[in-house]
Structures are given as C-alpha cells and as structure tokens.
Amino acid sequence: MPKNFLITFPKIETAEQVDALTADLSNLEKILSLTEGGLHIEIMVETTKSLLNQQGQFALPLIAKAGNGESGQLTFGAFDYTAELGIIAKYQTLQHQSCNFARNIMKVSLEGTGIRLSDGATNVMPIGPHRSEFLSKDELDANRAVIHRAWKLHFDNITHSLQNGFYQGWDLHPAQLIPRYAATYSFFIENLQESSERLSNFLARAARSTLHANVFDDAASGQGLLNFFIRGYNCEAINEDEILNAGITIEELLCIIRALVANKGMLSTNITFENN
C-alpha cells in the first residue's frame, strides 16, 4: 500500500464500530494478500457521541485504542457535527465556538497518545461560476472575486487551526493548496522574529523565568517556543540557519524532543520530526 494510506471511517460513535471495521479490514488483507496490519483507519470525529458518551466521559480514548490501535489519525468533521447540534447552514463554519469546543476535547482527551489529529475542511471551493473558453471581462472579474473569497476563507480557517494547535487539515480541491501553503508559511514567518528573541532569552537563563518586553516566559512557555521551531522546521517554513539564530541547533532540538517524549512532555503528541 502507498505510504500513509488511510481508510476514512465517517460518523463513528463507539469503539465497537471501530472493532468491526478492523475485523473486516483484516479479512480484506488476507483476501488481497496484503501485509497484515497494513490497512489503517482515519476516524472522522463528527458526532457528539464520539466526543462524550452518555455518562459524560471522554469517548475518544477508547475509540482510538479500538481495533488493535489501527487508527492512524482522527479528523474533525465540522459540518456533520454542527448539523447534529442544530446549527443552521450559514453558521456551520470551522471557526464556530462549538467546533473549538470539539477540537479542544480531541486534544485534551488524546494528549500523550501520539495519534495524529487533523482539522476539517473548508467547503467553499475556489471555483469560478463562469466556465467557457471565451469569457468577458465581467465574467473574468466575477470568477476572480469568487476564487479570492474562497482562498481568503480557507486561509483564515487554516490560520485559526494553527493558532489552536492543529497543524494538519483537509484540502478538498487542488486550488486550496495555495492558501494552505500561504497560511502555514505566513504563520511561522510572521512569528519568527518574536519567537527567536524569546527563545534566545529563555535559553540564556535556562532554568529561570525570563521577562521579554512585557511577556513573562517560564518553562511551559519555553516548551511552546520549542514547539514553534519544531513545527516550522518540519514544514520547511523555517530553515536551519533561522533556528541557529535563535540560539539552538537541530541536534539540540532533537535531544529535547527525545527527552520530552520520554517524559510524556508537552511535545510528545502528534509530532513527526524529520531531520532534512
């Protein structure tokens, strides 16, 4: 199977459903002579029951562990989720407060498990309404305006995801890759100078709290700064020289990651670091 191949399982509510699908996939692997355990599941978190069970307990830890842990990723499905809550179409957006609540539950309940979390999709496509070999100026302008609005919406949704610790999301159309790259790179580049200064000050006073401008940095803030550089380097928005300017090397970052993972620190969840 291709690397990172996942089978999407929508509208999941219970761990038993994951067990059933995993059993079916195991049989399919035998029928198709595939490697045992090679088919992995991507679970769509898009129902209220997948977040909290009837006893008010987190449901995702059991769902994620079900099926011998074959769930490689959990993805938030905003539109089914908001529809179930009775939210009308105009307000079914990734930035709705109910979606923030759901994503927070995903992160809190699965912290330390290593399971990848992905945000959902922007359902407004960057596709112009006028399609013809020959278009008038007005039609071209109308197409451009529609595409730019869709790009801006997707850009804003991705930025919102990044600000809330979701570093992965869905793109439904090739043209959505443009705002995906733009939002991801601008997120890291715009925050690079301030983060570099704060990390330099933090490392210079390693075990003590530091004050940069009017921002008080303690150990937890230091981990957040390291997280910024790890994520930025991993997606190539930040290069090695820019990390060195902040006062730390790639090798030191790797050592910190290993230590935090070993101690189940803040960076242990959903980090895939590649030393390019």
The one-digit pLDDT tens for each residue of the chain (276 residues) are 787 889 999 999 999 999 999 999 999 999 999 988 888 899 999 999 999 999 999 999 999 999 877 777 999 999 999 999 999 999 999 999 999 999 999 999 998 888 999 999 999 999 999 999 899 999 999 999 999 999 999 999 999 999 999 999 999 999 999 999 999 999 999 999 999 998 888 777 754 555 555 555 466 677 788 889 989 998 999 999 998 988 888 888 777 767 666 665 444 444 444 443
User: Span 6-143+163-172: which CATH code?
Assistant: 3.20.20.60
Burial of 265 (0-12, 13-18, 19+ CB in 10 A): middle
Q: Which residues pair with 32 in a beta bridge?
A: none
> Residue 101: what are its φ and ψ, rounded to 5°?
-60, -45
Residue 56 has a pLDDT of 92
Question: CATH 3.20.20.60 in the chain, residues?
Answer: 6-143+163-172
Q: In the block, which residue shows the tokens 């981990």?
A: 223
Strand-pairing partners, residue 41, are 7, 71
Among 253, 246, 252, 251, smallest CA distance to 204 is for 246
How far, rounded to the nearest angstrom, does the alpha carbon of residue 42 sit from its chain's CA centroid?
A: 13
Beta strands in 85-241 (DSSP E): 116-118, 210-212, 215-217
Residue 194 CB partners (closer than 8 Å, separation 6+): none
pTM score, whole prediction: 0.85
What pLDDT was estimated at residue 15? 94
Q: What is the dihedral of CA 32, 36, 37, 42, to 10 degrees?
A: -10
pLDDT given at position 3: 78
Beta strands in the chain (DSSP E): 6-9, 40-45, 71-76, 116-118, 210-212, 215-217
**Amino acid letter for position 9:** F
| Cβ atoms of residues 169 and 95 within 8 Å | no
